A and B are shown apart, each in its own frame.
Chain A
Amino acid sequence: MDIKQNFSNYKWLILAMLVIAAILVAIGAPTLVPICVAIAGIVPVLVPDRRMIFLLIAVFVVLPLMYPMYLDTDVTPEVKSMYDAIEELESGSVILMSFDFDPATRPELYPAALAFMRHSVQRGHRIITMALWPLGVSLAEEAVRDVIIDDWNVENPDRTYEYGQDYVHLPYMPGGIVVINQLITSFDENFPRDIRNTPIEDIAAMRGVTNLMDIDFVFALSSGDPGLRDWIMGGADRANRRVAGAATAVAAPEFYPYIHAGQLVGLMGGLKGASEYEELIGILGTATAGMDAQSLAHLAIIVFIIVGNAMFFMDRRRTRF
Chain B
Amino acid sequence: MQELATADLIGLWIAAILTLFIFSFLYKDNPLYKLAEHLFVGVSAGYILVRAWNDVLVPQLFQRIWVPGFREFTWEGLLVVIPAALAIMMLMRLVKSAAWISRWPLAFIMGVTSGLYLMMFLQTNALQQIRATMVPFVAAEGDWWHILTYLGPVLALLVFILVAMIALRESIEVLYRRWNILLPAYLAVAGIILIYVVAVRQTPDEVALIQNESFNNVLLFLGVLSGLVYFFFSKAHTGAFGVTAKVGIYFLMMAFGASFGYTIMARISLLIGRSQFLINEWGQEAIAQTPPTVSIVLIAALVITIVGVAIRVRHEPTA
Q: Which residues of A contact B203 (CB under 8 A)?
A: none
Task: Find residues 238-266 in chain A having any chain B CB closer than 8 Å to their own CB.
Answer: 238, 248-250, 252-253, 257-258, 260-263
Whether A66 pairs with B132 at a CB distance below 8 angstroms is no
Whether A298 pairs with B52 at a CB distance below 8 angstroms is no
Cβ of B46 to closest chain A Cβ, rounded Å? 11
Indicate if A272 sits at the interface (CB-CB under 8 A): yes
Cβ of A65 to closest chain B Cβ, rounded Å? 6
Q: Which residues of B contact A171 (CB under 8 A)?
A: 54-56, 59
Stretch of A7-15, A36-44, A174-182 at the chain-chain interface: A174-182
Indicate if A232 sits at the interface (CB-CB under 8 A): yes
Name A229's closest neighbour in chain B (CB-CB).
B124
Indicate if A203 sits at the interface (CB-CB under 8 A): no
Tell me what chain A mostly uses at the interface: helix, strand, loop, or mixed: helix
Whether B262 pairs with A270 at a CB distance below 8 angstroms is yes
Q: How far is the CA of A250 from the CA of B268 in the complex (A)?
A: 11
Q: Which residues of A contact B54 (CB under 8 A)?
A: 171
Name A191's closest neighbour in chain B (CB-CB).
B59
Per a CB cutoff under 8 Å, which of B112, B124, B273 touches A237?
A: B124
Whether B132 pairs with A178 at a CB distance below 8 angstroms is no
Q: Mark A40-52, 1 if CB is under 8 A from B, else 0.
A: 0000000001010
Indicate if B314 sits at the interface (CB-CB under 8 A): no
Whether B59 pairs with A249 at a CB distance below 8 angstroms is no
Tell me whether A294 and B124 are in contact in the complex, defined as CB-CB below 8 angstroms, given that A192-B59, A260-B132 are known contacts.
no
Q: Which residues of B contact A236 (CB under 8 A)?
A: 124
Whether B266 pairs with A298 at a CB distance below 8 angstroms is no
Taking residues whose C-beta sits less than 8 angstroms from the other chain, chain B's interface range is 35 or more
Whether B116 pairs with A195 at a CB distance below 8 angstroms is no
Indicate if A113 sits at the interface (CB-CB under 8 A): no
Stretch of B139-147, B230-238, B274-282 at the chain-chain interface: B274-282
Tell me whether A178 and B269 are in contact in the complex, defined as CB-CB below 8 angstroms, given that A107-B274, A173-B56, A263-B128 are known contacts.
no
Whether A261 pairs with B269 at a CB distance below 8 angstroms is no
Q: How far is the CA of A144 from the CA of B259 in the complex (A)?
A: 32
Per a CB cutoff under 8 Å, which of B47, B63, B112, B220 touches A134?
A: B47
Cβ of A168 to closest chain B Cβ, rounded Å? 14
Q: How far is the CA of A169 from the CA of B255 in the complex (A)?
A: 38
Whether A293 pairs with B272 at a CB distance below 8 angstroms is yes
Whether B271 pairs with A66 at a CB distance below 8 angstroms is no
Of B131, B264, B268, most A-chain CB atoms within 10 Å? B268
Whether A134 pairs with B48 at a CB distance below 8 angstroms is yes
Indicate if A61 sits at the interface (CB-CB under 8 A): yes
Q: How far is the CA of A49 from the CA of B128 in the complex (A)?
A: 51
Indicate if A193 sits at the interface (CB-CB under 8 A): yes
Q: Which residues of B contact A270 (CB under 8 A)?
A: 262, 265-266, 269
Of B60, B220, B258, most A-chain CB atoms within 10 Å? B60
Q: How far is the CA of A248 from the CA of B268 in the complex (A)?
A: 12
Q: Which residues of A contact B112 (CB under 8 A)?
A: 178
Indicate if B180 sits at the interface (CB-CB under 8 A): no
Q: Which residues of B contact A58 (CB under 8 A)?
A: 271, 275
Q: Which residues of B contact A137 (CB under 8 A)?
A: 51, 55
Name B268's closest neighbour in chain A (CB-CB).
A297
Per a CB cutoff under 8 Å, which of B48, B113, B120, B220 touches A234?
A: B120
Indicate if A108 sits at the interface (CB-CB under 8 A): yes
Tell me whether A174 and B265 are in contact in the complex, defined as CB-CB below 8 angstroms, given that A51-B26, A233-B123, A294-B272 are known contacts.
no
Indicate if B250 sits at the interface (CB-CB under 8 A): no
Q: How far is the CA of A105 from the CA of B266 in the complex (A)?
A: 9
Q: How far is the CA of A262 from the CA of B134 in the complex (A)?
A: 13
Q: Which residues of A contact B59 (CB under 8 A)?
A: 171, 192-193, 197
Task: Find residues 81-126 in chain B having any chain A CB closer than 8 Å to their own CB.
Answer: 112-113, 116-117, 120-121, 123-124
Whether B279 pairs with A61 at a CB distance below 8 angstroms is no
Whether A233 pairs with B270 at a CB distance below 8 angstroms is no
Indicate if A289 sits at the interface (CB-CB under 8 A): yes
Q: How far is the CA of A106 from the CA of B131 in the complex (A)?
A: 35
Name A174's closest neighbour in chain B (CB-CB).
B56
Cβ of B282 to closest chain A Cβ, rounded Å? 13
Q: How far is the CA of A269 from the CA of B263 in the complex (A)?
A: 11
Q: How far is the CA of A298 from the CA of B265 in the complex (A)?
A: 8
Task: Find residues 11-50 in chain B having any chain A CB closer than 8 Å to their own CB.
Answer: 26-27, 44, 47-48
Indicate if B171 sits at the interface (CB-CB under 8 A): no
Q: How far is the CA of A181 from the CA of B129 in the complex (A)?
A: 21
Show 23 residue pairs from A and B whose CB-CB distance is below 8 angstroms, ordered by the A residue. Answer: A61-B272, A62-B279, A102-B44, A107-B269, A107-B273, A108-B266, A134-B51, A171-B56, A174-B52, A177-B117, A192-B64, A238-B120, A249-B266, A250-B259, A250-B263, A253-B262, A257-B132, A270-B262, A286-B273, A290-B276, A294-B268, A294-B272, A301-B264
Query: 16 more A-B contacts (CB under 8 A) besides A171-B59, A269-B262?
Result: A65-B279, A107-B269, A134-B48, A174-B52, A192-B63, A236-B124, A237-B120, A237-B128, A252-B262, A253-B258, A257-B129, A271-B269, A290-B276, A294-B265, A294-B268, A297-B268
